[in-house]
Chains A and B, each alone.
Chain A
Amino acid sequence: EVQLVQSGAEVKKPGESLRISCKASTYSLTSKWISWVRQVPGKGLEWMGRIDPSDSYTDYSPSFQGHVSLSVDKSTRTAYLQWSSLKASDTAIYYCARHPWESGNWYFDLWGRGTLVTVSS
């Protein structure tokens, strides 16, 4: 079954760094973009940015530019979302989501289950 398998929940302190992952279970990661989406508890979804695994080209939402970074490891079919210095306001569920391979592919045909990140002192 094609899945995006995300890493487990994390509890961190403000100022700490973190990298969470999203692994493509069966398909070749390089063939389809991956986006990351945030959901603050009790709030809606927010698009953070996307990465093209074939060349690591990225686009970021202005709201997240400079605060997170996206990367991939093609050899392990894994995409990453990384923070260098977490804030309490980063507490949220983070989903990875796959774009299909077609023109106008600005939507998601497959999602991960989400990773809960809790940032608290």
Chain B
Amino acid sequence: QSALTQPASVSGSPGQSITISCTGTSSDVGSYKLVSWYQLHPGEVPKLMIYKDDKRPSGVSDRFSGSKSGNTASLTISGLQAEDEADYYCCSFAGSSTLLFGGGTKLTVL
């Protein structure tokens, strides 16, 4: 099992929208509606941002949205804010009761 593929870094200015992609295969991302996204601020507890491809937990800003097309899932952040600067990881069920993470994307708010 190889890690899901994410861009190493993305950046955007405050107010803009950015999208982080997460590419897997037909054995993981493409087979199940079970992609989740996590936000990691240094020194803080990781936070669930999106689950089951496109569902947003209560308490998470509606500026965050998830989608999927084929073997690629995406996290979109609209109205970028300084506090969105963090590392973001996608994660997918990969069958056989296993999970796969992406390599992580560092978001920089310019």
Contact = CB atoms under 8 A, between A and B. Distances in A.
A42 B12 CA distance: 23
A111 B46 contact: yes
B45 A107 contact: no
Interface in B45-62: 45-48, 51-52, 57
B99 A106 contact: yes
Contacts of A77: none
Interface residues of B, number: 26
Nearest to A46: B101
B51 A107 contact: yes
Interface string A69-113: 000000000000000000000000001010000001011110111
Contact of A59 (B1, B98, B102): B98
Contacts of A50: 97, 99
A61 B98 contact: yes
Q: Which of A35, A62, A108 has the most CB of B within 10 A?
A: A108
